[in-house]
Structure 1
């Protein structure tokens, strides 16, 4: 287990084997690091023994430190409704880890909010600065 305590963001997709595949994979292989799953459509249920909550506020009692984007979307972009969800996570002091093709760190307003709250926006698909490409 790591020192990260994940709130998996799976709004409307936690029951979907395709779109919820990231959530399912993390629950399968890192279950001990997950404290809650956010999906308002299934709030009150559990997923692999982990409580499902409706809102970020509902998750705070479980002590998350990181909000992990747990869905795969068409085109790798965030649905418009997720902007408020991401802002809620950041304003509650949660780091955000994102594996979609759309980078959360490219959102100037979200980046400014993250800086104000001292949290990190981590785009998992973004290569580290200075990463060289081998030749030959």
Structure 2
């Protein structure tokens, strides 16, 4: 308690009244000033936390962007190699198919047919004659 110089009230006579008044005033002053200070402190903490969250999300976004860029680059390299391998296989298999087609064409140069004994050649012309 601090010493109050009151003009209208004698401090020795009304000691308890002044004491109660000061106690109530102290509780009231602390009770009104402290919540505003706490609110200001909490607003400041909230703003700092929001900036920390924003920095965290920026770091996470930066990490994901880096990982995504790395993954896309690796995928691009793999796709380039796969495209080259598909082209190589296509050229290799095309030349193999050409050789197989040449062998089949060479086999078809000579007439190939089925006969019944040595009397009848089985083909479309003889089949249609037999049916008539």
Instruction: Judge same fold: TM > 0.5, yes or no.
Output: no
TM interval, short-chain normalised: under 0.3
Q: Relative contact order (C-alpha < 8 Å, sep 6+): which is higher? A: 1
